[in-house]
Amino acid sequence: MATVILATGLIGALTAFSIASRVTGISTDDTTLIFLAQEKLSEIQLLGRDGLAKADTVGDFSPGHPEYQWRMLVDKPDKRNLVRVDLVISFPEAGRTREVTFSTNVF
């Protein structure tokens, strides 16, 4: 009987460790995503409207994070002369590709 109770407790503890490990991995991915997005959005702001490519562009965050890909979608200037830029970052997560979009306006 004691063996059954011990086995049940061990299974519960191992399950908790597994879940904690998976959540830590997701949290690390999200933190990396935010830092990379902030870096790229700052670059876009520094370029200004005239420095932006006229067409959509793509790239990655090599050499540090080559698994994170980015795509920059540039709209035409609006009536206030602002250009909307969408930054789409994709990366592998749990056997699939996750995409997150960030937007900014450039003067």
Contact, 83 vs 75, CB < 8 A?
Answer: yes
Q: Is residue 88 scored above 90 in pLDDT?
A: yes
Strands 65-74 and 83-93, by their bridges, are antiparallel
CATH code matching the domain that covers 2-106, chosen among 1.10.10, 3.30.160, 3.30.420, 3.30.1300: 3.30.1300
pLDDT of residue 102: 95
CA distance 3 to 55: 66
Tens of pLDDT, residues 1-34: 778 777 787 787 777 767 666 656 667 788 999 9
- State residue 89's pLDDT score: 97
What's the pLDDT tens digit per position in 32-66? 999 999 999 999 999 888 888 888 899 999 999 99
Q: Residue by residue, what is the 3-state secondary structure of the chain?
A: CHHHHHHHHHHHHHHHHHHHHHHHHHHHHHHHHHHHHHHHHHHHHHHHHHHCCCCCEEEEECCCEEEEEEEEEECCCCCCCCEEEEEEEEEEECCEEEEEEEEEEEC
Q: What is the pTM of this model?
A: 0.74
